[in-house]
Structure 1
Amino acid sequence: MKPVIVVHGGAGTIVKEYEEGYRTGVKRAALKGYDCLRQKGAALTAVEEAVVVLENDPHFNAGYGSVLNEEGDVEMDAIIMDGRNLMSGAVSAVRCIANPITLARLVMEKTDHMLLTCKGASLFAKAQGIPEIPNEKLITERSRERWKTNLHPGSNPVVSQIGLGTVGAVAIDSEGNVACATSTGGLTNKMIGRVGDTACIGSGGYADNAFGAVSTTGHGESIMKVTLARLIINHMEQGMSPEEAAEAGLKYMKTRVNGLGGVIVVNSSGDWTAKFSTKQMTWAAVQDDQLQVGVYHGEKDTMPVG
């Protein structure tokens, strides 16, 4: 099996001045994950490493750069899933953690649970030796300014989410194993304790070796209503290609609940796609030592991997 990795940096409308930063970020993440796969690494490790790159990049709404809740604090969600055995780990509403995706993997591997939240996730992180960092170190000036803007009466946090995207990755390794990972800071000025689709299995992501893997981005409440990731897997189960399944899932979400978003998908044969119903979505993919990247509909820039 030829390994494949696809990453996304979130669906929405990207402010022009940040576009190049988004492109660079997803390319770096995809190449990091692919380097793992080229060395016969597992898909699970590849998606984690790719998402860590994006969590550390201030352009994206995950880890450093996460949006702020109504009190001006960072609360983050993340999920990871192993297609070999359907094992999954997730965290929600976590604070003071640089890389929630790594904590989510530890939940999967070190506990009998699938999702830890808030205080429990923090206690578990301490027990696993993950260092706490001040929440201030996760806050960018861009996130702070956006939070201030949305304190005004009549502001719309969903609209102001534009250009701040959830991040994710899907991969298939040389053994034919698939995995997914998704991480986010959530919605701008969200209520304290709000958890969106990202940490919910079947919504923010899903992976099953029999069919493939999906990572989602977009309006979380809409994604949760249709369990978008699992819906796309269901379509592939019925014989659809990744592209057909992604388009069908996004169309259903738009028609049924008027929700917009984006997805990256890889199937058990190594075919992949990146689809979105928003104006833009940053994504990158590597297959056969070829890196592809896009932001706009129909765009697919291709370059060799060095």
Structure 2
Amino acid sequence: MVLAVHGGAGTALVRGETDPRTERAYREGLAAALRAGGDVLRRGGGSVAAVEAAVRVLEDDEMFNAGRGAVFTEDAGHELDASVMRGSDLAAGAVAGVRNVRNPVSAARLVMERTRHVLLAGEGADDFAARNGLPTVTQDYYWTQKRWDALLEAKKPGARGGGSAAGGEGKAAAVGGKAAGRGGRSAGRDEQAMGTVGAVAVDRARDLAAATSTGGLTNKMVGRVGDSPVIGAGTYARNDTAAVSATGQGEVFIRGAAAVTVSHLMEFRGLDVASAAYEVVVRRLAALGGLGGVIALDRDGVFDAPHSSEGMLHGYLTRDGEIVTKVFRDESPPDQ
């Protein structure tokens, strides 16, 4: 493998219960991201540019919870988080709680490349992105009907707290309704229990990179930050171990230092990438009460995507150009 992406972990799409428009929309979204990142790699671009390109496509796709289509906070706003890390020198950049950046992943890369800092938050991060020429948007750019409906569902009496409705960082269970396409929703499962996006890549120089982006949890507290912009929790890349992007219950993934622990298990215990990722996702984080998954890639092109949640949308690109996407539960059953 040379590139992989994920579109969030959560309730899986079920074959036979998901309408064709929804399946097609998710597959096309993942494939478009893989093509964008793959084009960068084929032109001789680096892994950082490849993961940024892939994640930007997913941020622009309202099917996912990142950029356009981000979920709502408790006050009906949007606060977005993203991070990027380069495996060759452990350089990293991140933004948290941005409200007006069209593509937070690009802002995160700018933090890495143009500041001496790692993480910028809130208004300062928005202003930095604008000063550096990134496209800005008003809050209504992120709005979609399905995310608004999810917020209203989460605010109903008896609903669980922030993130209980579908759509946040792969945390939520479905709230009912058959998965539907961009134009609507019908009875059965709810595809909105997907969302956070990420990418990992290895380039011709065998340098690794990882990136993650999210809108967070539906009905989350204003100012809440999950694992996606936290280097070592939601994102990590080190050339001699792996590039990792996570999706799951953010607070648990922070407490468990999810992404960097995959790297540490490879470095200090000599585990391969698949064994290390499984150990973190299925054993350690699950024991802390956190469901989710990771995509993990080493510089030899060995890839794995373990998840303890019912499903995880993801796909990958091979060196010879083959694109594979997995959206149904039977294509990617949960690891036990």
Fold shared by both chains (TM-score > 0.5): yes
Equivalent residue, structure 2, for 1:100? 104
How far apart, CA to CA, are the structure 1 residues paired with 2:24 and 2:210? 25
Equivalent residue, structure 1, for 2:49? 45
Distance 1:79 1:20, change over 3 A: same
How high is the sequence identity, in percent, across the aligned residues? 41
Off by >4 Å, runs of 4+ in structure 1 = none
How far apart, CA to CA, are the structure 2 residues paired with 1:158 and 1:221? 12
**Per-residue displacement from partner, 1:4-30 (whole Å, max 9, x unpaired)?**
000000000145343332222111111
Count of residue correspondences: 298
How far apart, CA to CA, are the structure 2 residues paired with 1:96 and 1:158? 22
Q: Any conservation in 1 of the 2:164–2:218 contact (CA below 8 Å)?
A: no
How far apart, CA to CA, are the structure 2 residues paired with 1:253 and 1:90? 25
Paired letter, 1:226: G
Greater per-residue strand proportion: 1
Structure 1 segments unaligned to the other structure (5+ residues): 301-306
Paired letter, 2:274: E
1:179 pairs, out of 185, 188, 209, with 209
Equivalent residue, structure 1, for 2:236? 206
C-alpha displacement of 1:164: 2.9
Q: Any conservation in 2 of the 1:223–1:253 contact (CA below 8 Å)?
A: no
Equivalent residue, structure 1, for 2:29? 25
CA RMSD of aligned residues (A): 1.5
Equivalent residue, structure 2, for 1:239? 270
Equivalent residue, structure 2, for 1:292? 324
Equivalent residue, structure 1, for 2:87? 83
How far apart, CA to CA, are the structure 1 residues paired with 2:313 and 2:56? 16
Q: Normalising by the residue count of structure 1, what TM-score does the alignment of the two structures yield?
A: 0.93
Q: Any conservation in 1 of the 2:30–2:315 contact (CA below 8 Å)?
A: yes
Equivalent residue, structure 2, for 1:194? 224
**Per-residue displacement from partner, 1:17-56 (whole Å, max 9, x unpaired)?**
4333222211111121111111111000000000000000
Paired residues for 1:1-306 under 5 Å: 4-14=2-12, 16-17=18-19, 18-156=22-160, 157-161=162-166, 162=172, 163-237=193-267, 238-287=269-318, 288-296=320-328, 299=331
How far apart, CA to CA, are the structure 2 residues paired with 1:273 and 1:295? 15
How far apart, CA to CA, are the structure 1 residues paired with 2:238 and 2:35? 23
**Per-residue displacement from partner, 1:169-200 (whole Å, max 9, x unpaired)?**
00000101000000000000000000000010
Paired letter, 1:37: L
Paired letter, 1:278: S
How far apart, CA to CA, are the structure 1 residues paired with 2:62 and 2:148? 12
Q: Any conservation in 2 of the 1:66–1:184 contact (CA below 8 Å)?
A: yes
How far apart, CA to CA, are the structure 1 residues paired with 2:227 and 2:87? 19
How far apart, CA to CA, are the structure 2 residues paired with 1:254 and 1:111? 33
Paired letter, 1:277: S
Paired letter, 1:239: G
How far apart, CA to CA, are the structure 2 residues paired with 1:118 and 1:45? 24
C-alpha displacement of 1:290: 1.6
Structure 2 segments unaligned to the other structure (5+ residues): 167-171, 173-192
C-alpha displacement of 1:102: 0.3
Q: Any conservation in 2 of the 1:280–1:297 contact (CA below 8 Å)?
A: yes
Q: Any conservation in 1 of the 2:256–2:285 contact (CA below 8 Å)?
A: no
Paired letter, 2:288: V
How far apart, CA to CA, are the structure 2 residues paired with 1:87 and 1:203? 15
Distance 1:131 1:32, change over 3 A: closer
Paired letter, 1:7: V
Comparing 19-28 and 183-192, the one that deviates more: 19-28
Equivalent residue, structure 2, for 1:304? none
How far apart, CA to CA, are the structure 2 residues paired with 1:100 and 1:232? 25
